[in-house]
């Protein structure tokens, strides 16, 4: 790792924060029953998994789509981190 590359810890925290940001931009924290954001960054490979248990209904966003969006946003945030 070169000195100007982000640390593994920074990569993981950036991805997790981005994913949580998406979740809580779509739902009030009190409405989310359970969620888990798992981020692994090893040997330059990023894995992001988002589990979301949130209300489903006509006026609510689709939890599966929000979880997918959260994972994609996490990956993009890490890409942006390496481009900076």
**Helix/strand/coil (H/E/C) assignment for every residue in the chain:** CCCCCCCHHHHHHHHHHHHHHHHHHHCCHHHCCEEEEEEEEECCEEEEEEEEECCCCCCCCCHHHHHHHHHHHHHHHHHHHHHC
What's the CATH code, domain 8-83? Answer: 3.30.300.100
Per-residue pLDDT of the chain (84 residues; tens, 9 = 90+): 566 889 999 999 999 999 999 999 999 999 999 999 999 999 999 999 999 999 988 889 999 999 999 999 999 999 999 997
Question: Phi, psi (5° rounding) for residue 41?
Answer: -130, 105
- pLDDT on residue 13: 98
Q: What is the pTM of this model?
A: 0.92
- Domain parsing of the chain, residue ranges: 8-83
Q: What is the pLDDT of residue 2?
A: 64
The radius of gyration computed from the CA coordinates of the chain, to the nearest angstrom, equals 14
What does the pLDDT read at residue 58?
A: 87
């Amino acid at each position: 790792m070169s000195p100007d590359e982000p640390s593994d810890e920074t990569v993981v925290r950036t991805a997790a924060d981005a994913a949580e940001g998406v979740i809580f931009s779509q739902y009030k924290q009190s409405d989310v029953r359970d969620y888990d954001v798992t981020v692994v960054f090893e040997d330059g490979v990023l894995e992001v998994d988002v589990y979301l248990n949130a209300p489903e209904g006509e006026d609510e966003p689709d939890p599966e789509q929000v979880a997918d969006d959260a994972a994609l946003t996490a990956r993009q945030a890490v890409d942006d981190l390496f481009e900076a």
